[in-house]
């Protein structure tokens, strides 16, 4: 009963490096999303997907790419890391969004950009 699995849990990058944050869910959920959480703030939506092959931008998409080739996986790519992207990143999934369907969250990835 894994739920939503995010890897890695911690990562330190240098400015300009690229990396991919992995997210996988085993609940056959249609909806998946990525958020970032900065200190003292709520979660802000980066990108989301309503199904395999379908993605869209959220509130703060700049500097990030996503793809959804399978129902299970929704990786988040940082193209050229910047210190402003230092944050905690959460992946979430739900069968659908709304209608009482809560999002299930991963444990988060703590990312530091030097």
Partner 1 sequence: AQKITQTQPGMFVQEKEAVTLDCTYDTSDPSYGLFWYKQPSSGEMIFLIYQGSYDQQNATEGRYSLNFQKARKSANLVISASQLGDSAMYFCAMKASGSRLTFGEGTQLTVNP
Please give the residue ranges that form the binding site for partner 1 (CB under 8 A).
Answer: 31, 33, 35, 40-45, 48, 50, 56, 58-59, 88, 90, 92, 97-100, 102-105, 107-108
Compute the least distance from the CB of residue 41 to partner 1, in Å.
Answer: 6
Compute the least distance from the CB of residue 16 to partner 1, in Å.
Answer: 28
- C-beta of 10 vs 28, nearer to partner 1: 10
- C-beta of 64 vs 90, nearer to partner 1: 90
State how far the Cα of 114 lies from the Cα of 112, in Å rounded to an integer: 6
Compute the least distance from the CB of residue 61 to partner 1, in Å.
Answer: 12
Contacts of 41 (CB under 8 A, 6+ apart): none
Phi and psi torsions of 85, nearest 5°: -90, 5
Strand arrangement, sheet containing 19-25: 4-7, 19-25, 76-78, 64-66
- C-beta of 80 vs 96, nearer to partner 1: 96
């Amino acid at each position: 009963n894994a739920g939503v699995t995010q890897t890695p849990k911690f990562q330190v990058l240098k400015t300009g490096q690229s990396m991919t944050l992995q997210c996988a869910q085993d609940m056959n959920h249609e909806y998946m999303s990525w958020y970032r959480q900065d200190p003292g703030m709520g979660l802000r939506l980066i990108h989301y997907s309503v199904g395999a092959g379908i993605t869209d931008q959220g509130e703060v998409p700049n500097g990030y790419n996503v793809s959804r080739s399978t129902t299970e996986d929704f990786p988040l790519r940082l193209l050229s890391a910047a210190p402003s992207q230092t944050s905690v990143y959460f992946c979430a999934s739900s069968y659908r969004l709304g209608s009482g369907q809560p999002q299930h969250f991963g444990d988060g990835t703590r990312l530091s950009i030097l």
